[in-house]
Chain A
């Protein structure tokens, strides 16, 4: 009897592993292969011996330091502004009609490149805003601070984060808020002790997704960003366009560093979220 039960358990476990194998196997092969490939490209130039030249060339390039600073600045600004705005917007529209929410989520399926183009058409010198206002108070497209890039990300990511937040602000939360109100909790207290614990996890997950995307994408900075400094992804792209053979190694080194940075940021965000959880 017992032996038969154990056999069934083993068969069940084998079935579970078999079900996971296709997806996880393909991912391990492709993603692991990609990382190994990038590492190989950065250490072994085509037809040569293993060397640290690519990494040295990356660190020695004066543009690299500027690029790290600029990329981090854009990533932190975009992520924090999107999160803050998304919280405000989600609280403002959570009891609004479906139509309001549908219009609000319109930018979600629109590719980043199209949002960047929209920003150029509105905000570039001679663009619609310039014409309507008869002059712009500040430069927002291809400006040195990367404000245009941040603006595009905030416009594109805020609705995405709002969707995540609204999903967490369902009926159950409304019931709990009412209970808290009956017990005498003011609006600020309800926000801190009822709403915030419910939305914290989706907000952190969303923030990690946003930050990882901003760190590694380059269609937006290529379109509305300054020509200098480049973001890290742009820096990698420029390396491949300069010196064809050595450039691939520098690009791979830069991209590996970016991957490590976004992984570190994600770990940090998860840690921080646990620390400030307030019990």
Chain B
């Protein structure tokens, strides 16, 4: 089906409509003075970045990063065997497993966070990294399993059988056959898991009110000082974009 120039222009226009508005975050972050009605800032500078780093944002960045990395790693370890069983359709009645995986995606994270707080208060887990990781795990684990299960199937099993027939030990088989075969999907699952934890607002607020997380720290600045908010937004975006780049690299699989 031949495409007209009009159709091609429409595609580009749509892409621009979704991509371009985000540029304003960069401009706002480095605009020390930007009075109406000017369309471009009068004075450029680093006031926003300096203010963003002088507060609790640096600590919040560290906490958010630590929680996101630990949660994602934990979700991958816990989720791998389950994803494998579900992906290979080894379960005769998988409905219950899928229901259990779907439920946390339907229930607001703020609700699960608030509910967990009831127990975390007794266990001294509120405002701790462990508490935040457990609360984030409720949302991250289902996403990781659901994405990862699509990696497993007859092709991977057949490759593993071949490796076994050729005398590879289980660990070698995992390292040289299974891992490369599932790597793109594994990377996608890790990326999604990281992102879900990284941008988690509701459960972080409920469980870790006393421990600053980046989204929680950022929100009040949207009204009080947009330049600081935009600087924090860029700080917020860096790991997300880096994770996306890493995923894209890992996805270039030999298979």
Contact = CB atoms under 8 A, between A and B. Distances in A.
B159 interface: no
Contacts of B21: 118, 122, 155
A149 interface: no
Contacts of B145: 23
A180 to B, nearest CB: 13
Contact of A113 (B11, B105, B201): B201
B189 interface: no
A33 interface: yes
A159 to B, nearest CB: 6
A96 interface: yes
B82 A93 contact: no
A212 B240 contact: no
Interface in A227-279: 233, 236-237, 248, 251-252, 255-256, 258-259, 262-263, 266
B118 A112 contact: no
B136 to A, nearest CB: 10
A258 B81 contact: no
Contacts of A37: 114-119
A216 B119 contact: no
A23 B22 contact: no
Interface in A7-44: 12, 16, 18-20, 22-24, 26-28, 30-31, 33-41
Interface in A21-72: 22-24, 26-28, 30-31, 33-41
Contacts of B19: 103-104, 106
Contacts of B37: 131, 134
A223 B114 CA distance: 21
Contacts of A248: 114
Nearest to B103: A31
Contacts of A262: 106-108
B180 interface: no
B237 interface: yes
Contacts of A128: 24, 39
Interface residues of A, number: 81
B240 A109 contact: yes
Contacts of B230: 117, 121
Contacts of A114: 22, 25, 233, 236-237
B195 A219 contact: no
A216 B109 contact: yes
B158 to A, nearest CB: 18
Interface string A94-127: 0111011111111101111110111011100010
Contacts, number: 241
Given A22-B78, A27-B104, A107 B22 contact: yes
Contacts of B240: 109-111
Contacts of B38: 131
B151 interface: no
Given A37-B115, A114-B233, A117-B233, A159 B18 contact: yes
B252 interface: no
B52 interface: no
B85 A20 contact: yes
B12 interface: yes
B107 A216 contact: yes
Given A121-B25, A131-B37, A255 B108 contact: yes
A103 B120 CA distance: 42
Contacts of A116: 222
A222 interface: yes
A27 B105 CA distance: 12
Nearest to B218: A113
A255 B114 contact: yes
Nearest to A105: B18
Interface of A: 12, 16, 18-20, 22-24, 26-28, 30-31, 33-41, 89, 92-93, 95-97, 99-107, 109-114, 116-118, 120-122, 126, 128, 130-132, 134, 155, 158-159, 208-209, 212, 215-219, 222-223, 233, 236-237, 248, 251-252, 255-256, 258-259, 262-263, 266
Closest 8 CB pairs of A and B: A216-B108, A38-B115, A37-B118, A111-B199, A34-B115, A255-B111, A19-B81, A37-B115
